[in-house]
Each structure stands twice: as structure tokens, then as C-alpha cells.
Chains A and B, each alone.
Chain A
Amino acid sequence: MLNHSNNSHLTDTQLQLHLEGQTLNANQQTHLANCPLCTQQLQLYQQMYVGFNQLATPSLPFDLAQAVMQQMPEQAPNTQLENAWVAATALLLLMVVCIAAYLGLFKSIIPLLTNNTWVAVQLLTAMLGTVLLFQWIEYRFWSNKMAN
């Protein structure tokens, strides 16, 4: 369909744009109203547009949602991360208490203990503190892995 003057047929582009909502000028409107060929072309496009909305929807032969859900991890990574932070904070607080005990900061609060008992308390807290420190480092490492 050629269109080089106002009296010639509308082009496919013009017909498509018309259906997309672009207004035809007065000459084009007059031509369209009087030209059986352009009217027929427009009707074909209209039929096509109607057809687009009536095409069958494809579907899979199984429940896609269930198939995907089965492949998803059970526990929330974010919940796991929050739990890790709570545990790490608790361990850090315990470590602070251990370090304070090791430095003898509680000596004035519990004055009845002998020096030997204090040495034993300091040794025990030092050991416990080391274990907790390693656990905390491990938690931090694991948390970073989860976050990435």
C-alpha cells in the first residue's frame, strides 16, 4: 500500500499507528471513510488486535510453584543471620565478663577469696575467654558468608 499523496491509500504504518491511538488528519480520515481497500486493511488489523486478547494461555504439565518451592532452602537466611548476631553478641558479653575477672576487677566486690583462688579464677576465665573468642570469630566469619 503506497502513500505519496493525500488521495492515496493509507500505509500499514499509518493504519497501525491509528489503532495505537494516533489521530488521522482530515484527508486521511476522508480517504479511509471512502476507500474499501483501506477499510478492509484496517479491519484485518482490528481482527488481529482482537485476536491477540483471545489467544490461549500456555501452561506447564506440572505445578511450577510447587516445583520451585521444593528447591528453595527451608529456613530463612535472614532469620539465620539474626540468630547468629544474637549468639555472637551474647558470647561477646561473656568474654567481657571473663576479661574483667581475669584482670581482677571483681576482687573488691568479692574480698573473701584468697589469692590462690583468684589465680584459679583467672586461669579458668582466661581459658573460657579464649574458647569464646574463637567461637565469636567463627560466628563472624559464618555471618559474613551468609550475608554474601
Chain B
Amino acid sequence: MKNTVLTTADERKLVTAVLQNDRKAILQLIRLYERLVVAMVFKMIDKPPDREDICQDVFLKIFSHLKTFKFDSKLSTWIAQITYNTSVNYLQKKKTLLLDEVFTNYPLNDTDDEQNNYAETITTNFMHQTVAMPDELLQQSETNQLLQTAIEGLPIMFRTLVQLYHIEDMSYTDIAQITQLPLNTVKSYLFRARKLLKDVLQQHQFAHH
């Protein structure tokens, strides 16, 4: 699940063709970037009907603003930025918080039992959801399921950063540009998000043994 890689020359060709309203090029651009847009929207928006509308809205915005794209960044970064802004606008209208203070203060290096409520809750919920399996089967596939559940339990901002960095393979700099956050904040949030996820895996491991 890597982010689409086009050379700058290919991006220029594609953008030029789209601006000339070449239908094949438009279709190609959507096919190339729909996975990125859909994945980001799914991470940021919870309601399925709203996700569908936002995904379409993002592409219509991309096409209506494409002539303003100056190739200062990768096309994927620019598209991710439009996706992020469109989703944030939606969340602001719904008065949904991107990040709770509890999570920004999550301890990076100490394992404090009181701070591990998040990990405990996620693990307990997950244990109730899953069917008991023999130990030898409780390997990576179960970790993946637990990881998916744990990511969904993270605040929207953390989920989005994990998606962009670990699944879309974007750099810290690109993510800072997309989210308009300082570079160090992006790094700090990602460290905290990974720590939270690791704590969930650890709780799960303890619960099993």
C-alpha cells in the first residue's frame, strides 16, 4: 500500500493533459490517486455516506484547482493536502476534535499505569470481539486485526499521521506541508501514536499470557 510514484516529467504530462480536458488523463489521475484519497478520508471521517460525498468533492476540487498547481511539491502531496483540508472543513462543521489534549500529553517514555487506560480499553474491547484461537494462530494476523482496531481508536490527527507516514510512505516534511503542522510536532505526534499502539499490543500480549 504505497503512495503513487510518478516522475516530475510524468506528473507534468498528466497535469497538462488533464488541463486540456483529456478524458483518459482525467480518468488516469483519479485511478492513480483514488486509493490515497479514499484511505485518508476513511481515516478522518467516520460516517460512510459523508465519506462517499467527501471523496467525490475532493476530486472535483482537484480538477477545478489543478491550474493553480505549480509543481512546487509532488502531485500526491498536493492532492493529500486538498483531501486533508476538505476533511478538516467537514470536521469543523461537525465540531469534531482532531486531537484531544489527553493524547498530546501521552507519556513518550514512561509506562505509567494510569496513563495506560487507552491501551487497556482497546485491548479489552478487542478481546471481547475476537474468537479464541489456538496460540500458534495468534501471530501476525491477530496483531494486524488488533492494530487496525487500535488505529481506529486513536484521535483523528494521530490516525491521519500514521496513515500518511506508515501506509502512504510520506516523509515528515511532506506530512508537515499537508497538515500545516510544524515538523517537530508531526514527529512528536507520530512518536506518541506509535507508543500508544505499542502499548495496546503489549497489553494484549500480557492479557494472553
Contact (A67, B56) CB under 8 Å given A55-B147, A58-B38, A58-B42: yes
Chain A positions within 8 Å of B143 at CB level: 47-48, 50-51
Chain A positions within 8 Å of B34 at CB level: 64-65
Question: Which of B20, B108, B205 has a CB less than 8 Å from the CB of A13?
Answer: B108
B63 close to chain A: CB less than 8 A:
yes
Contact (A54, B197) CB under 8 Å given A1-B110, A60-B51: no
Contact (A51, B55) CB under 8 Å given A2-B110, A13-B109: no
Q: Tally A residues with Cβ within 8 Å of B.
A: 39
A21 close to chain B: CB less than 8 A:
no
Q: Tally B residues with Cβ within 8 Å of A.
A: 43
Contact (A53, B1) CB under 8 Å given A12-B109, A64-B56, A69-B30: yes
B60 touching A51, Cβ below 8 Å: no
B5 close to chain A: CB less than 8 A:
no
Chain B positions within 8 Å of A60 at CB level: 38, 51-52, 55
B30 touching A57, Cβ below 8 Å: no
B198 touching A52, Cβ below 8 Å: no
A48 touching B198, Cβ below 8 Å: yes
B26 touching A62, Cβ below 8 Å: no
Give per-residue flags for B101-126: 1 if the beta carbon is below 8 A from chain A beta carbons, else 0.
00000001111000000000000000
A75 touching B52, Cβ below 8 Å: no
